[in-house]
């Protein structure tokens, strides 16, 4: 039974890692606390759903095609948000508060837009292929296998890309945007790529969840916040840290759902967040640090 | 003349770098003391320590012959040590009057309980402080500007406002960090005038300044910071 | 006529919430996302006490306020220990934690099933049963709250709150402890939100946790942002704008199924536009940098 719990946690953790890595990418390059990440998560699933339903067949070809188009849509909308909202605010040197609020506005707009067109109920799909795999004490549902493979693929891709040479420009930007810009790094382009790719990762996770527990318009915020906790705990600049933290949090949530009730898991995640805040020295507002920043 | 401040063997390091290494000097009441030194020689750090914003690693401070260990900004202020920052720190979104009133010392309106047990006292104190603020605005070339939002003032006016706030707070020892930096010559004269007035009122001024000529002409004593230590140079030799 | 009164009651509740939020975000510079939690605790405390005990409305209201004063202590701690974004996230976390408790502590709050049969207020034997009577009561409470905040605005405390917002080092330089004023602002804000919660509970006679989610916190924040931070007019305008917006939609004959979501879409759009082009909102005198 513990094995099943670990496995379930692992699979959810990988999905969560996709979201967390996406968020981390966006936050590090744009410095925006992109709370509307959840909207792109949900949006990706709904776009996929709508496109797939428009085809007669639901064969693998159309699934992949729909996914592809859905990702493009998500990337497009994310880019629009970046160009119309985040970049102008960055040019005005807006602080964290204002950009967070703008992101909240984007979230409300997109989520309510989705609810207007699709209604508020949960949408889900079924995988037509195969039965579960049974491995000693472990039951692997087909959708879990899909989630496992796809998540691993994308995570490995991201890790691989982050070691590439041209990614150095992105890294430079993450540490110091103005310096990077002076050194000729195209910060606007990187921001666009980051937000597109980050949102695409979220959409991928959502599409796979669509085949599992389903997606409803309100579901984006909860999982995004868990992803945010993972980024904060794992260290926003460390991809591996973020991934491991995601696995840890998903495991904690799965265990909570198993032993307590699934409703408590969100609360648990946030108790964890507050504990981490108290533990980290960065969060301290001691005026001493402010003075030294003079 | 009495000594208002005694600094004995004060040292402070940041990340292994010793910024202050046994700084020793005294400042006499009612004088203007200027502090010179290159960037990074520890002048501002010294001011931070005296005003309680930083704790020294070692050494002792005596204010009016009373040692003041573990000082925080709150305790330093209570003693009458006030400071002005290099880039004037004021409440940008409040009016000039509100900034001055904010600085007033021991206002009954500070404490929540006063509103319940003695609201009348609050009203009375507000009235008297408003008069005082007007007077101080007069001294600091800000009369007529009481209603203006502090953020709209010029750089020099903001500097004067922050000095005005020190006056409202009835500080006896004023630490001024580069009062003449970044302002035009007319403003420099204003600020000098204010400092003379303050000196006449018996206040003691310590200032960090890079404008040596100006600072030398109005200061009684001069100190140089170098290699973490403080050396004195009497006025006669400037 | 009844419909007009209904709108008036909603406006009164949101004006109270808006003023409470404004004290934090507008005066003290504290972007708190926990306001719906305090609203909710106020509503639940009122509901439970009115349903399960025989205490009259004023006493129940007092207890609800007291409970919130205790529940806001973590937020006070956050405001002193954490800065900027960390504070916002901590209040977000607290909001979700409170919601989770309201939703799952079924033995006390009845969880997702909510609490029904909340009686209308009875004050000194005088019942406020009918809609006009309730509107009057809500109006009276709203007016008292407005008067309170007006007084607060003109008091020295207003300076100290704004000092916390503008420059905490200045506060320290003059011997004023920023933490003390944060504590006062957060306590007042939480206590006042309880009043709104109490009105909400006795108005609808039924409450469930879904009225007190993070989305509601975001909404309350948006209200004061759009109305304008730092002024009383701003909070009132923001609340009125939010409550009256659906009425404008009504003229366009949008079917009810879509109306709620469409209203939020328009509202969100206005929020974004305000942030980009009119950061002071309608009547604000402060904007986030």
C97 vs A284: CB contact, 8 Å cut-off? no
C92 touches chain A (CB under 8 A): yes
CATH of the domain at B57: 3.40.50.300
Alpha carbon distances (Å) from A89 to A92, A187, A195, C90: 5, 15, 15, 24
CA pseudo-torsion sign A49, A52, A55, A58: negative
Mean pLDDT of B66-87: 86
Q: What percent of chain C has pLDDT over 70?
A: 99
Is the domain of B227 the same as that of B147?
A: no
The answer to the question of residue B43 being in a domain is yes
Q: Which residues contact C62 (CB under 8 A, 6 or more apart)?
A: none
> Which residue of chain C comes nearest to B88, CA vs CA?
C170
Beta-bridged to residue A85, according to DSSP, are: none
Residues of chain C in contact with residue A253, where contact means CB-CB under 8 angstroms, are none
Q: Which band of pLDDT confidence, cut at 50, 70 and 90, is reported for residue A281?
A: low
B73 neighbourhood in chain C, CB within 8 Å: 169, 172-173, 175
The reply to whether A292 touches chain B by the CB within 8 Å rule is yes
Q: What is the pLDDT of residues A197-215, one digit of tens each?
A: 999 999 999 999 988 888 8
Q: Is the pLDDT of residue B235 over 90?
A: no
Instruction: Tell me, yes or no, whether B193 lies in a domain.
Output: no
Per the CB < 8 A criterion, the answer to whether C197 and C46 are in contact is yes
Could you read off the pLDDT of A80-133 as tens digits, one per residue? 999 999 999 988 888 888 899 999 999 999 999 999 888 888 887 776 666 666
For residue B216, what are the CA distances in angstroms to B32, B213, B221, B223, C282? 10, 5, 8, 10, 52
The answer to whether A184 contacts chain C (CB < 8 Å) is no
C83 chain-A contacts, CB cut-off 8 A: 283-285
Same domain flag for B92 and B167: yes
pLDDT of residue A29: 86
The span from the CA of A5 to the CA of C194, in Å, is: 41
Would you state the pLDDT for residue B14? 84
Within this chain, do residues B68 and B85 fall inside the same structural domain, yes or no?
A: no
C184 close contact with B: CB closer than 8 A: yes
CB pairs below 8 Å between A and C: how many?
136
Alpha carbon distance A14, B204 (integer Å): 65
Judge whether residue B228 has pLDDT over 80. Answer: no
What are A44's two structure tokens? 């990706």
> CB count, 10 Å around CB of C134?
22
The verdict on B82 touching C (C-beta cutoff 8 Å) is yes
- B100 Ramachandran zone, left/alpha/beta (phi>0; psi -120 to 50): alpha
- Which residues 6+ apart lie within 8 Å of C231 measured at CB? C22, C26, C283, C284, C285
Task: Look at residue A130 in the predicted model and tell me its pLDDT.
Answer: 62
B237 has a pLDDT exceeding 60: no
- The residues in C 176-205 lying below 8 A from A, measured between CB atoms, are none
Contacts of B85 in chain A (CB under 8 A): 294
C289 pLDDT more than 70: no
Q: Is the pLDDT of residue A23 over 90?
A: yes
SS3 state of residue A135: strand
Interface subset of A 268-287, CB within 8 angstroms of B:
287
Mutate to test the interface with B, among A291, A292, A293 (most CBs of B within 10 A): A291
Query: Is A288 touching B (CB cutoff 8 A)?
Result: yes
Q: What is the pLDDT of residues C155-189, one digit of tens each?
A: 999 999 999 999 998 999 898 999 999 999 999 99
Whether residues B90 and B155 share a domain: the answer is yes
Dist CA B44 CA B50 (whole Å): 10
- Closest to C193 measured CA to CA, from C54, C56, C23: C23
Has residue B199 been placed in a domain? no
The pLDDT of residue A184: 67
Report pLDDT digits (tens) over B5-64. Answer: 888 888 888 888 888 888 888 899 989 999 988 887 788 888 989 988 888 888 888 888
Instruction: Provide the 8-state DSSP code for C113.
Output: G
- Nearest-CA distance from C230 to chain A in Å? 15
Q: Does A294 touch chain B (CB under 8 A)?
A: yes
Contact between chains at C272 and A285 (C-beta distance less than 8 A) = no
CB contact A294 to C (< 8 Å): no
Do C8 and C139 contact (CB within 8 A), yes or no?
Answer: yes
User: Domain A2-292 classified CATH 1.10.3470?
Assistant: yes
The minimal CB distance from A113 to the residues C104, C214, C265 is found for C265
Q: What is the pLDDT of residues C194-219, one digit of tens each?
A: 999 999 999 998 999 999 999 899 99
Q: What is the Cα–Cα distance from C280 to A15, expressed in whole angstroms?
A: 40
Q: How would you list the strands of the sheet with B66-67, edge to edge?
A: B17-28, B3-14, B58-63, B66-67
Cα dihedral C204, C205, C209, C214, rounded to 10, equals 30
Q: How many CB pairs under 8 A join A and B?
A: 12
Sign, CA dihedral B201-B203-B204-B209, equals: negative
Same structural domain, B31 and B88: no
Q: Which residue has the tokens 């970049």?
A: A87
Split at pLDDT 50, 70, 90, the class of A288 is very low
d(CA A17, CA C214) in angstroms, rounded, equals: 23
Token pair belonging to A294: 């003079």
Percent over 90 (pLDDT), chain C = 70
- Partner C contacted by A116 (CB < 8 A): yes
For residue B129, being part of any structural domain is answered with yes
Which residue, B25, B140, B20, is CA-closest to B88?
Answer: B140
Average pLDDT over residues A259-271: 81
Q: How many CB atoms lie within 10 A of CB A56?
A: 7
Testing the interface with C: which of B48, B82, B92, B102 to mutate, by most C Cβ within 10 A?
B102
**DSSP string for residues in chain B:** --EEEEEEEEEEEETTEEEEEEEEEEEETT-EEEEEE-TTSSHHHHHHHHTTSS--SEEEEEETTEE--S--HHHHHHHTEEEE-SS----TTSBHHHHHHHH-TT-GGGSHHHHHH-HHHHHHHHHHHHHHHHHHHHHTT-TT-TTSBGGGS-HHHHHHHHHHHHHHTT-SEEEEESTTTT--HHHHHHHHHHHHHHHHTT-EEEEE-S-HHHHHHH-SEEEEEETTEEEEEEGGG-
Across the interface, whether the CB atoms of C166 and B98 are under 8 A apart is answered no
A173 vs A273: CA distance, rounded Å = 27
Give every CB contact of residue C277 below 8 A, 6+ residues apart in sequence. Answer: none
Residue A294: what pLDDT? Answer: 42
Residues whose CB falls within 8 Å of the CB of residue A189, separated by 6 or more in sequence, listed in order: none
A261 touching C (Cβ < 8 Å)? yes
Of C94 and B227, more confident: C94
Q: Which positions in chain A touch B54 (Cβ < 8 Å)? A: 288, 291-292
Question: B55 and B107 in one domain?
Answer: no
Listed range (A47-56, A164-173, A255-264, C28-37) with the worst mean pLDDT: A164-173
Task: Give residue A287's pLDDT.
Answer: 47
Answer whether A95 sits within 8 Å of C289, measured CB to CB: yes
Q: Which chain C positions have a beta carbon within 8 Å of B126's beta carbon?
A: 156
- Which position has the token pair 């409170």? C98
Question: Nearest chain C Cα to A225, which residue?
Answer: C93
The Cα–Cα gap between B150 and C149 comes to 24
Q: Is the pLDDT of residue C129 over 50?
A: yes
Distance from CA of C171 to the nearest CA of B (A): 8
pLDDT at B95: 93
| Section A28-53 average pLDDT | 92
Cβ proximity of A267 and A261 under 8 Å: no
**B141 closest CA partner among B190, B95, B207:** B190
Q: State which residues form the domain around B10.
A: 1-75+206-238
Are B86 and A292 a contacting pair at CB < 8 A?
no
Residue C66 has a pLDDT of 97
Which long-range CB contacts under 8 A does B214-220 form with residues at least 24 apart? B214/B180, B214/B188, B215/B34, B215/B36, B215/B180, B216/B34, B218/B32, B218/B192, B219/B31, B219/B32, B219/B33, B219/B34, B220/B28, B220/B31, B220/B32, B220/B33
Q: Which residue of chain B comes nearest to C287, CA vs CA?
A: B93
**Are C275 and A105 within 8 A, CB to CB?**
yes
Strand B221-226 with B58-63, pairing: unpaired
With a threshold of 0.90, tell me whether the complex ipTM lies above it.
Answer: no
Closest chain C residue to B103 measured between Cα atoms? C174
Q: How many structural domains is chain B composed of?
A: 2
Q: Are residues B16 and B59 in the same domain?
A: yes
Nearest to C83 among A102, A108, A285 (CB): A285
CB atoms inside a 10 Å sphere around CB C113: 10
Smallest CA–CA separation between A34 and chain C, in Å? 12
Say yes or no: B10 and B71 in one domain.
yes
Q: Which of residues 62-81 of C touch A (CB under 8 A)?
A: 74, 78, 80-81
* Residue A289 pLDDT > 50: no
- All partners of chain C with 3 or more CB pairs under 8 angstroms: A, B
Report the pLDDT value the prediction gives residue A283, as an integer from 0 to 100. 43
Joined together, the tokens standing for residue B60 give 């002792």
Measured between beta carbons, the chain C residues lying within 8 angstroms of B77 are 172-175
Summarize the confidence of residues A188-201 as an average pLDDT.
91
Tell whether B231 is within 8 A of chain C (Cβ). no
Instruction: Answer for the pair C281, C234: CB distance below 8 angstroms, yes or no.
Output: yes
A291 touches chain B (CB under 8 A): yes
Q: Which H or E element spans position A260?
A: none
Nearest Cβ partner of C156 from B74, B77, B122?
B122
Closest by Cβ to C269, choosing from A97, A109, A274: A109
Instruction: Look at residue C33 and give its three-state secondary structure.
Output: coil
pLDDT of residue C27: 95
pLDDT exceeds cutoff 90 at C44:
yes
pLDDT tens-digit map of B150-198: 989 998 889 889 989 988 888 889 999 888 888 888 888 888 888 888 8
Q: Decide: helix, strand or coil at residue A56.
A: coil
Instruction: Give partners of A (≥3 CB pairs < 8 A).
Output: B, C
Taking the CA of residue A146 and the nearest CA in chain C, the distance in Å comes to: 31
* Whole-number Å distance between alpha carbons of B44 and B37: 10
Residues of C with CB below 8 A from B74's CB? Answer: 172, 175, 177
* Nearest chain C residue (CA) to B52: C173
Name the DSSP class of C111. Answer: G
Chain B residues in contact with C162 (beta carbon < 8 A): 91, 93-94, 98
Which helix or strand (DSSP H or E) is residue A236 part of? Answer: none
Calculate mean pLDDT across residues C71-97.
92
Report how far residue C214's alpha carbon sits from residue C14's, in angstroms, rounded to the nearest whole number.
16
The pLDDT value recorded for residue A104 is 93
Tokens standing for residue A171:
């890294």
Q: Which of B122, B151, B171 is the last residue of a domain?
A: B171
Residue-wise pLDDT for A233-242, tens only, equals 888 778 888 9
């Amino acid at each position: 039974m513990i094995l099943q719990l670990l496995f379930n946690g692992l699979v959810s953790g990988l999905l969560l890692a996709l979201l967390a890595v996406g968020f981390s990418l966006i936050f590090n390059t744009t410095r925006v606390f992109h709370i509307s990440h959840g909207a792109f998560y949900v949006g990706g699933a709904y776009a996929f759903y709508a496109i797939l339903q428009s085809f007669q067949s639901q064969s693998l070809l159309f699934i992949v095609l729909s996914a592809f188009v859905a990702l493009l849509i998500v990337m497009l909308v994310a880019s629009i948000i970046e160009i119309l909202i985040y970049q102008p605010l960055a040019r005005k040197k807006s602080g964290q508060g204002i950009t967070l609020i703008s992101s909240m506005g984007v979230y409300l707009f997109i989520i309510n837009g989705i609810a207007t067109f699709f209604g508020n109920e949960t949408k889900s799909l079924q995988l037509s292929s195969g039965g579960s795999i049974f491995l000693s004490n472990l039951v692997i549902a087909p959708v879990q296998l899909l989630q496992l493979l796809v998540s691993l693929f994308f995570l490995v891709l991201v890790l691989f890309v982050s070691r590439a040479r041209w990614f150095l420009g992105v890294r430079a930007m993450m540490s110091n945007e103005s310096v990077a810009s002076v050194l000729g790094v195209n910060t606007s382009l990187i921001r666009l790529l980051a937000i597109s790719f980050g949102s695409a990762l979220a959409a991928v996770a959502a599409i796979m969840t669509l085949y599992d527990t389903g997606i409803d318009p309100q579901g984006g915020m909860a999982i995004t916040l868990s992803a945010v906790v993972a980024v904060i705990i794992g260290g926003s600049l460390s991809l591996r840290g973020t991934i491991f933290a995601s696995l840890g949090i998903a495991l904690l949530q799965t265990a909570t759902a198993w032993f307590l009730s699934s409703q408590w898991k969100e609360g648990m995640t946030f108790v964890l967040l507050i504990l981490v805040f108290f533990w980290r020295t960065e969060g301290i507002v001691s005026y001493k640090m402010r003075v030294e920043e003079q | 003349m009495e000594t208002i401040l005694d600094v004995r063997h004060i040292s402070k390091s940041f990340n292994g770098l010793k910024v202050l290494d046994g700084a020793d000097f005294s400042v006499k009441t009612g004088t203007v003391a200027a502090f010179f030194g290159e960037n990074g020689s520890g002048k501002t750090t010294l001011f931070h320590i005296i005003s309680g914003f930083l704790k020294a690693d070692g050494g002792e401070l005596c204010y009016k012959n009373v040692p003041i260990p573990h000082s925080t900004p709150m305790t330093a202020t209570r003693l009458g040590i006030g400071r002005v920052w290099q880039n004037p720190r004021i409440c940008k979104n409040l009016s000039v009057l509100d900034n001055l009133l904010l600085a007033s010392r021991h206002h009954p309106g500070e404490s929540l309980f006063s509103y319940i047990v003695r609201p009348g006292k609050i009203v009375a104190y507000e009235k008297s402080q408003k008069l005082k603020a007007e007077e101080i605005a007069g001294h600091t070339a800000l009369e007529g500007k009481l209603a203006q939002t502090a953020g709209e003032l010029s750089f020099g006016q903001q500097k004067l406002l922050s000095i005005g706030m020190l006056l409202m707070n009835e500080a006896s020892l004023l630490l001024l960090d580069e009062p003449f930096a970044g302002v035009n010559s007319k403003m420099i004269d204003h600020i000098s005038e204010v400092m003379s007035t303050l000196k006449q009122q018996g206040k003691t001024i310590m200032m960090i300044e890079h404008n040596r000529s100006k600072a030398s002409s109005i200061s009684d004593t001069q100190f140089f910071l170098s290699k973490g230590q403080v050396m004195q140079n009497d006025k006669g030799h400037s | 006529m009844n419909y007009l009164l209904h709108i008036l009651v909603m406006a009164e509740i949101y004006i109270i919430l808006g003023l409470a939020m404004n004290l934090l975000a507008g005066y003290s510079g504290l972007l708190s996302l926990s306001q719906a939690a305090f609203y909710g605790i106020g509503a639940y405390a009122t509901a439970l006490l009115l349903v399960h005990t025989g205490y009259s409305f004023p006493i129940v209201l007092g207890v609800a306020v007291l409970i919130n004063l205790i529940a806001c202590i973590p937020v006070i701690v956050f405001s002193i220990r954490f800065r900027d974004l960390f504070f916002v996230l901590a209040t977000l976390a607290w909001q979700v934690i409170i919601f989770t408790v309201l939703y799952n502590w079924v033995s006390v709050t009845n969880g997702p099933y909510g609490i029904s049969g909340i009686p209308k207020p009875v004050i000194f034997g005088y019942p406020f049963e009918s809609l006009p009577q309730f509107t009057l009561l809500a109006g009276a409470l709203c007016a008292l709250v407005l008067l309170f905040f007006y007084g607060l605005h003109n008091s020295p405390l207003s300076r100290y709150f704004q000092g916390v917002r503008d420059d905490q080092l200045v506060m320290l330089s003059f011997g004023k402890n920023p933490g003390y004023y944060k504590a006062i602002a957060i306590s007042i804000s939480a206590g006042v939100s309880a009043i709104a919660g109490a009105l909400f509970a006795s108005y609808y006679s039924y409450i469930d946790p879904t009225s007190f989610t993070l989305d509601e916190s975001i909404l309350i924040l948006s209200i004061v942002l759009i109305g304008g931070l730092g002024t009383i007019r701003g909070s009132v305008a923001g609340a009125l704008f939010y409550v009256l917006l659906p009425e404008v939609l009504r003229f366009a004959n949008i079917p009810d199924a879509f109306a709620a979501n469409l209203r939020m879409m328009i509202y969100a759009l206005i929020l974004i536009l305000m942030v980009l082009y009119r950061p002071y909102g309608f009547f604000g005198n402060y904007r986030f940098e």
